[in-house]
């Protein structure tokens, strides 16, 4: 059994996804957290002064928001599909809807379609309420064919 698969099984059993996040240095740098709420994963980007792009507002840097959402999509896909490896990004399209204020940011993902080699994931990020997103994104990932693993 691969190290990644073992860590995934442990994360599911314990409900603690921090060991998976530690495998991704950027997740640690910006402070991404992940928790399971019922059947869904909820990703959190805690307010952090190092993530501010515009100190006058202050607002979170757009690149940090994009990185957070891309990481959330990849981890969501990895955790829920049990893919044999970390999915590789093909395409990422992001729509900024509001300024990301200096406060905690949340994200949820939904796998829209998964084939044997490509998966599409929709991501929504918000701060105040889920009904008022600050950004939405669509991501396409290349996933390892489980039949070849």
Q: Specify the CATH number for 3-142; select among 3.30.470.30, 3.40.50.300, 2.60.40.420, 3.10.129.10.
A: 3.10.129.10
Over residues 64-102, the pLDDT tens digits come to 999 999 999 999 998 887 766 778 999 999 999 999 999
| Residues in the chain where the model's pLDDT stays below 70 | 1-2, 83-84, 145-149
The C-alpha angle with vertex 82 and arms to 78 and 86, in degrees rounded to 5, equals: 40
pLDDT at 15: 82
pLDDT at 138: 97
- The full length of the chain comes to 149
pLDDT at 147: 54
């Amino acid at each position: 059994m691969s190290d990644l698969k073992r860590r995934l099984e442990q994360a599911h059993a314990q409900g603690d996804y921090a060991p998976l996040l530690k495998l991704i240095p950027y997740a640690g740098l910006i402070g991404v957290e992940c928790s399971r709420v019922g059947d869904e994963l909820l990703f959190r980007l805690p307010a952090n002064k190092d993530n501010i792009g515009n100190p006058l507002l202050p607002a979170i840097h757009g690149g940090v928001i994009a990185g957070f959402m891309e990481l959330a999509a990849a981890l969501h896909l990895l955790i829920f599909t049990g893919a044999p490896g970390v999915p590789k990004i093909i395409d990422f399209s992001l729509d900024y809807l509001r300024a990301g204020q200096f406060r905690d940011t949340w994200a949820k993902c939904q796998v829209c379609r998964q084939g044997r080699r490509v998966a599409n994931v929709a991501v929504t990020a918000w701060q105040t309420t889920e009904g008022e997103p600050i950004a939405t994104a669509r991501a396409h990932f290349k996933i390892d064919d489980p039949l070849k693993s």
